[in-house]
Amino acid sequence: MGVMILVLLLCFAMAFSQQINMIEVEKRALLQIKWWDFSDHFSDDPCHWEGIYCNDFGSVTEMRRPIIPSKHCRLADLNLTAFPNLQHLDLHEMGLIGAIPTQIATLHNLKLLNLSHNNLTGIIPTQIGALHNLTGLDLSNNNLIGTIPTQIGALHNLTGLYLYYNSLIGTIPTEIGALHGLISLDLSNNNLIELAYTLVVNEKCDVYSFGVVTMETIMGKHPGDLISSLSKTYSESIWLKDVLDPRIPQPS
């Protein structure tokens, strides 16, 4: 019995030591990033810093818009591997520049990632598909390029996906259709190609393009053509026969 108690005490001591080391690593990473102004009311405990929230053990679980004394900060300067318990990372409207680091994949407990309204460049890393607990992903209003990674289809807990106002190209991945829990989706104001442009209704038509496909079926052309004509003839009346597909005989 005494040996068992000793083993339990040793295990507890090791776990406690690891916890202390992890908290020190987190603190060091936050100090190195220099996103906080320590000139006034400095606390040695990061859990007391504005925008930082911790669990009962003192490990960081949320990081929300700290006050940055300098501009043009890079997300890559933050050691993301130092925060294994991070659940919310909300850094919108912080003037962040540079690319989204591939180390984002190490945040396995992350549920919310909001990097919107910054000046982020480069591609959306494929490693983002490793964030299986993610429920909200907002990368809107940046300067991201490239295609939407198909790995986003692995984020089965995702309920909100916002990639609007970027410079993304290519087709909308059909894998997005596998996100059955998705409630809100906005991919507008990019250079994406909808599958509906092919004028072929097949199993590859995703939810986003469904409305466009329906309009094409009725009109015989992409609804964008109608929108263009509307901008030129806004003062004129438009007849229903001008909207319907002329190849289909009119009913008697």
Share of the chain above pLDDT 90, in %: 46
Per the DSSP assignment, residues forming a β-bridge with 52 are: 63
Query: Nearest CA to 62 among 120, 115, 113, 127?
Result: 113
- Please tell me whether residues 31 and 99 are part of one structural domain: yes
3-state SS assignment for residue 209: helix
Contact between 209 and 188 (Cβ < 8 Å): no
- Please tell me whether residues 127 and 154 are part of one structural domain: yes
Task: Report the number of distinct structural domains present in the chain.
Answer: 2
- Please tell me whether residues 152 and 201 are part of one structural domain: no
- Please tell me whether residues 86 and 180 are part of one structural domain: yes
Query: Residues 6 or more apart from 25 whose CB is under 8 A from it?
Result: 82
Tokens found for residue 169: 């190209």
Q: For every residue of 56-118, which 3-state class applies, written as one string?
A: CCCCEEEEECCCCCCCCCEHHHCCHHHCCCCCEEECCCCCCEECCCHHHHHCCCCCEEECCCC
Domain of residue 244, residue span? 196-252
CATH code, 122: 3.80.10.10
- Please tell me whether residues 205 and 85 are part of one structural domain: no
Residue 32 CA to residue 21 CA, distance in Å, equals: 17
pLDDT (tens digit per residue) in 92-126: 998 899 999 999 999 999 999 999 999 999 999 99
pTM recorded for the entire structure? 0.71
With cut-offs at 50, 70 and 90, classify the pLDDT of residue 50: confident
- Please tell me whether residues 76 and 131 are part of one structural domain: yes
- Please tell me whether residues 170 and 240 are part of one structural domain: no
Query: Nearest CA to 34 among 93, 78, 4?
Result: 78
- Please tell me whether residues 40 and 116 are part of one structural domain: yes
- Please tell me whether residues 120 and 91 are part of one structural domain: yes
pLDDT (tens digit per residue) in 166-199: 999 999 999 998 898 999 999 999 999 865 444 4
